Structure 1
Amino acid sequence: MLDWKNRTAGADTAAAGGQPRGKTGASALGRVIGGVLGLYLLIAVIVGWYWSQEPEQFSVQQHVHSAAQSAKHQMVNGYTTVATLKQVARTLLDKPGGYLANDIAPPGLWLDNMPSWEYGVLVQVRDMSRALRKDFARSQSQSTEDPDLAKAEPRFHFDNTSWALPASEAEYGEAIKSLDRYLARLADPSSNAQFYTRADNLNNWLGDAATRLGSLSQRLSASVGQVRLNTEVRDPAQGDGGEVEIIEGGYETPWLQIDNVFYEARGQAWALAHLLRAIEVDFADVLAKKNATVSLRQIIRELEAAQETLWSPMILNGSGYGLLANHSLVMANYISRANAGLIDLRTLLSQG
């Protein structure tokens, strides 16, 4: 009798002070799910950090000689430029994490610096592939374009954020294969593939590069709002001729886009530096004749200086003479000097 009363009292105490078995199981399941999610987020952060590391610069001549030996190709004019373009494009697909701009799942979905870097590289790849198709591989404007380059150039211009049907990587991979076929034909003396190292061809491509760098310089400088003058032509008939309108702020890069513009500039500078190294080899005679070799090397130095390690965990946007650095303005300085060098180089090439 007493034992029955003790058991009853114990059950009541457990019901009053303890937790029901159902709630205990749910709480344990919640802890397990939370732990798994926490571990997943930690791994995603580590992987995302690793994927965000920019590829190192590679030795253009060393890579090209190694590639030519492995493929048993003969080194001819244009081989270094095409092989370098191929390697620059291949880096987009083979770097840690692969191509990230079209990722739809974490951690690639959360990253924006590396996709911006990829886009900068892709811009230079597109410009060079177009120059190959319309200038370097053709003797004159009425000549027939190379069939492999005609396939490569539009595929490099495919949407850079498409993840399926087809994916961007698939199109860029096919473009690289077209470059590879052109490269093999170029190295074959019996083939009809050509690469013309003329000053006018080089000048046309350098004009595109200068335009790209000029735009980047303006966008980077716009990370700090400035007072600017309105340079639009005014109509004297409306009575406002001769007046100068001051616009506060000017064109200012949105705060959330500052790091994207910065990394796009890093990507373009990385790709262009390698391509100019290749141009130095293939157009050595043209550059020497125009006394332009030193000018080209100075441009490469400016672009390579823009690739220095960034020690800050984020892109700072301080004022010009403030306590905090403004990384965009520093990058704009390198890009502007490289752009000025390109303008001088084009002047040398255009002279007789």
Structure 2
Amino acid sequence: MSQKPEDTFQEDLAASGVAPARRGWGARLGGLFRRRAPAAAPPPVGGGGRWRRTILLGVGGLVILFVLYMAVGAFVVHTVDDDPDFAVASPLANGSKAVEIAAALIERETGDAHRWTANDPFFLPGSLLDNMPNYQQGIIYALSRFTAEMGDQIGRSRGSSQVDPDLDRATGLLRYPGTIWLFDLSTSWAPTASSESQYRAAARALRSYNERVAAGTAPFERRADNLLQTVDRFAADLGSQSSVIADHIEASRGWLIDTRADDIFYSTKGRLYAYFLVMRALGQDFDGVLAQSGATKIWAEMVDNLREAAELQPLVVMNGRADAMFQPNHLAAQGFFLLRARTQMRELSNVLRN
């Protein structure tokens, strides 16, 4: 059968590379109205991405809360309590006022009014503090010297007699390091006694001794030679601390930033404050001896100088040159009052010897 002319024409177009036309007008119009396929929708975000964002937001929130907790907590905890009017509310009749104020001061700094901050671990706000821990450790150091003198001098009837067990125990406990928390990894992995628990045990030992003094069953020798030895030991300790201040001033004065100056300042301040309270109370315990020796006025002046030195509390401790116009030297100012009090202690020693 012979091919139609139309079929022959289409075959010739195909052979020449030209696309054949659609057959009929309906096919052409149908192409105009053919519905296009919709665009592919983006794949939904998986659940893992949402969880990652939630975890990151949660961790960030916890970090912010921890920073706020540490900063605000450190501000709340920080207290350098140098109240010159601190006293025992109900003093023990016939007991030693000096022993009683020492026990009360230990209890105040280890939980009754303030928390002990020198041993706070890194996750507690007190670990950010610097001045308060040095101040508290300075107080304990001075009180350990006082209890040692009590055991060696005032708390013994004579030099060859036995040391009072409560005073001996208190002295040992107050020499416990102030930086021990519930663990001391330098010695053992096992839990150990914290610094504040040891110091509070020392306060109980002092109260036990004072109760026996009030009952007349423990010695408290109100003699001039005992007071003389105690004053001399305190003066020697202040002389040693003045040397620390002088050496630091000489080595680093004029530095714009001196991170060690405030450590020395507040450690010395703690010693001076404790000595001020103890010496004021000893003046009441030995009022008869002082009056008989004519040393009452010198004693009062010495106590006043200790108070002035203990009350120094600059906003920022600076260690400038002694002749600086705009940068003071707070260590030098503190050392002046310290040496003045020490000089008056030496005068007291001379008066008590006569």
Tell me the TM-score range normalised by the shorter chain.
0.7 to 0.9
Is 1:320 the counterpart of 2:337? The answer is no
CA contact (8 A) 1:126 1:153 kept: yes
Q: Deviations over 1:7-33 (max 9, x none)?
A: x1x417x8xxxx876445434432332
Output the amino acid matched with 1:256: T
Displacement after TM superposition at 1:271 (Å): 0.5
Is 1:11 the counterpart of 2:42? The answer is yes
Is 1:173 the counterpart of 2:200? The answer is yes
Question: Per the alignment, in what secondary structure is the counterpart of residue 157 of structure 2?
Answer: coil
Partner of residue 275 from structure 1, selected from 266, 275, 278: 278
Cα pair distance change 1:145/1:3, threshold 3 Å: farther
Range with bigger deviation, 115-124 or 156-165: 156-165
Displacement after TM superposition at 1:93 (Å): 0.6
CA contact (8 A) 1:81 1:275 kept: yes
Indicate the residue corresponding to 1:239 in structure 2: none
Is 1:102 the counterpart of 2:119? The answer is yes
Displacement after TM superposition at 1:35 (Å): 2.7
Indicate the residue corresponding to 1:229 in structure 2: none
Cα pair distance change 1:187/1:302, threshold 3 Å: same
Indicate the residue corresponding to 1:237 in structure 2: none
Displacement after TM superposition at 1:308 (Å): 3.1
Displacement after TM superposition at 1:50 (Å): 2.8
CA contact (8 A) 1:290 1:349 kept: yes
CA contact (8 A) 2:131 2:266 kept: yes
Indicate the residue corresponding to 1:50 in structure 2: 76
Displacement after TM superposition at 1:168 (Å): 1.5
Is 1:85 the counterpart of 2:67? The answer is no
Partner of residue 210 from structure 1, selected from 232, 235, 239: 235
CA contact (8 A) 1:306 1:331 kept: yes
Output the amino acid matched with 2:108: T
Indicate the residue corresponding to 1:259 in structure 2: 262
Indicate the residue corresponding to 1:158 in structure 2: 176
Indicate the residue corresponding to 1:67 in structure 2: 90
Is 1:182 the counterpart of 2:200? The answer is no
Q: Deviations over 1:203-253 (max 9, x none)?
A: 111112111211222222333326xxxxxxxxxxxxxxxxxxxxxx89x9x
Cα pair distance change 1:224/1:188, threshold 3 Å: closer
Displacement after TM superposition at 1:300 (Å): 1.5
Map 1:266-345 onto structure 2 (within 5 A): 266-308=269-311, 310-312=313-315, 314-322=316-324, 323-345=326-348
Is 1:195 the counterpart of 2:220? The answer is yes
Percent of aligned positions that are identical: 24
CA contact (8 A) 1:214 1:336 kept: yes
Q: Deviations over 1:15-71 (max 9, x none)?
A: xxxx876445434432332232222212212221232211242536xx34x323xxx
Indicate the residue corresponding to 1:33 in structure 2: 59
Indicate the residue corresponding to 2:4 in structure 1: none
Question: Per the alignment, in what secondary structure is the counterpart of residue 54 of structure 1?
Answer: coil
CA contact (8 A) 2:108 2:114 kept: no
Displacement after TM superposition at 1:5 (Å): 1.9
CA contact (8 A) 2:269 2:309 kept: yes
CA contact (8 A) 1:82 1:183 kept: yes
Distance 1:213 1:51 in 2: 29
Cα pair distance change 1:348/1:20, threshold 3 Å: farther
Displacement after TM superposition at 1:153 (Å): 1.6
The higher radius of gyration belongs to: 2
| Unmatched 5+ stretches in structure 1 | 227-248
CA contact (8 A) 1:113 1:260 kept: yes
Distance 1:93 1:3 in 2: 82
Q: Deviations over 1:269-295 (max 9, x none)?
A: 110110011011011111112221111
Give runs of ≥4 in structure 1 deviating > 4 Å. Answer: 1-4
CA contact (8 A) 1:200 1:349 kept: yes
CA contact (8 A) 2:82 2:310 kept: no
Output the amino acid matched with 2:193: P
Displacement after TM superposition at 1:331 (Å): 1.1
Output the amino acid matched with 2:194: A
Displacement after TM superposition at 1:121 (Å): 0.5
Provide the alpha-carbon RMSD of the alignment. 2.6
CA contact (8 A) 2:276 2:306 kept: yes
Map 1:131-150 onto structure 2 (within 5 A): 131-150=149-168
| Unmatched 5+ stretches in structure 2 | 1-33, 183-191
Q: Deviations over 1:63-109 (max 9, x none)?
A: 34x323xxxx4325xx2111111112212212655112222233222
Distance 2:313 2:139 in 1: 18
